[in-house]
Amino acid sequence: MKLQKILSSLQKLHPKEIDLSLDRIKRLCKKLGNPQDNLKYISVVGTNGKYSTIQVIKAILKDANINCNIYISPHIQKINERYEYNNQEISDEELSGLLLKVKEINNNDAITYFEILTAAFFYEANKYKNNINIIESGLFHRFDATNIIKSNLASIVTAVGLDHLDWLPKNEHTIDKIIFEKTSSLLNSKIIVSKQSSNEILNKIKNSIKENSSKKLFFGNDFNYSINENGFFYYEDKYGGLKLPLPNLEGEFQLSNITTAIATVRNIEEINVSDENIKNGITKIKSIARFQEIKNGKLKDLVKKNKIYIDGSHNPLGASVLSKHLNSLQCKKHIILGMMNNKDHFEYMSYFKDKISSLTTVDIPNQPNAISGEDLMKKLKNSNNIQYKKTIVDAIRSIDLKDNDIIVITGSLYLAGEVLNQN
């Protein structure tokens, strides 16, 4: 309760949720003694795959006994997920103390919620100067609060697509603008570019970073993977090939995130990981709401022998990836869908047209910016076998499941968090 009150007070320090500028975060960090300086960073930008890539790097480094601090956004179930120090998620008590201290030093200056959370991460990270800090850009990158560090070990560019367009002028709702915002201000170190959805996007990224003096590594040219039918996949780069066990993450799409993570740790001279660390690490990856199977709890009890998954995809790129994976499964699929109001609902669902057996829209509790499940059903009324149910439980109970059918709950990370908390 104490932590929630603190978080509520932080949200009142600026009238806007987002205000694209680096001035406020720089001012606060100066008051804090610029704790972000002289630390070791791996920066992660992109649209999709950032979280999964971070979790892979974390797992590999942990196996090599290399301590990490991690900063991600948004969280799924609780805000503590955003902060890890020495490979441990911060406790409620520790986070409350940290945020109160930073709030006190800020002294009621105007600052957005994300900016003060980011400053707090840097402030605490400064206590662990030898750790590797893996930081995820919150929105785009150029004016993101994480973009005040002066140097890093590497920048990772995960899959880039259209998202968060409501924060851009209408005449700038283009992939070119998104790529510019995400990649034009990357630091001069190393840039590792993950698999992209098209050669067009890849070439636009290459063009955006061509003046950057960093060493650049691209999926497909400098590192790659192939799948073996016997439960292995092969990673390849200039250092040689690795025969690796399939990870504990479902979906081939995760292999591109994994190979990007491997390419990163193999190309940073300051990090010493062995092939064995990589092999062990990828079997211990923990990932929340990324095609995550719910294996127990009350929601699993409702579906009995059938499988139920939760996936936080919420943009066209995520829908494309999820749809491709679902198409590879030989079963009937039922989607339960909840989305935020500012997303492209038609575009998202277009990837599942004629590929699913039913669609059930639901409300997302505790999210005033979500579209109601009823309104979402009306918007998508031309979808086959569509219905609205208020709650997740009602939605699951309403689906006529046959042997081998699966349910996928998707459309929003906020929905994913609510579902996991309910379970």
pLDDT tens-place values along the chain, 423 residues long: 699 999 999 999 999 888 889 999 999 999 999 999 999 999 999 999 999 999 999 999 999 999 999 999 999 999 999 999 999 999 999 999 999 999 999 999 999 999 999 999 999 999 999 999 999 998 879 999 999 999 999 999 999 987 666 656 777 678 899 999 999 999 989 999 999 999 999 999 999 999 999 999 999 999 999 987 778 999 999 999 999 998 878 777 789 999 999 999 999 999 999 999 999 999 999 888 989 999 999 999 999 999 999 999 999 989 999 999 999 999 999 999 999 998 999 999 999 988 999 999 999 998 999 999 999 999 999 888 999 999 999 999 999 999 999 999 999 999 999 999 988
Q: Does 118 share its domain with 182?
A: yes
Q: Does 369 share its domain with 275?
A: no
Residue 286 included in any domain: no
User: Which residues span the domain enclosing 328?
Assistant: 292-422
Q: Does 21 share its domain with 134?
A: yes
Residue 287 included in any domain: no
Q: Does 165 share its domain with 230?
A: yes
Q: Does 296 share its domain with 267?
A: no
The residue out of 281, 300, 316 marking a domain boundary is 281
Residue 51 included in any domain: yes
What pLDDT shows up at residue 228?
77
Q: Does 222 share its domain with 369?
A: no
Q: Does 247 share its domain with 103?
A: yes
Q: Does 106 share its domain with 217?
A: yes
CATH assignment at residue 147: 3.40.1190.10
When divided into structural domains, the chain yields a total of: 2
Residue 368 included in any domain: yes
Token pair of 197, please?
Answer: 């959805």
Q: Does 184 share its domain with 47?
A: yes
Residue 84 included in any domain: yes
Q: Does 235 share its domain with 104?
A: yes
CATH assignment at residue 416: 3.90.190.20
Q: Does 244 share its domain with 377?
A: no
What pLDDT shows up at residue 172?
67
Q: Does 376 share its domain with 267?
A: no
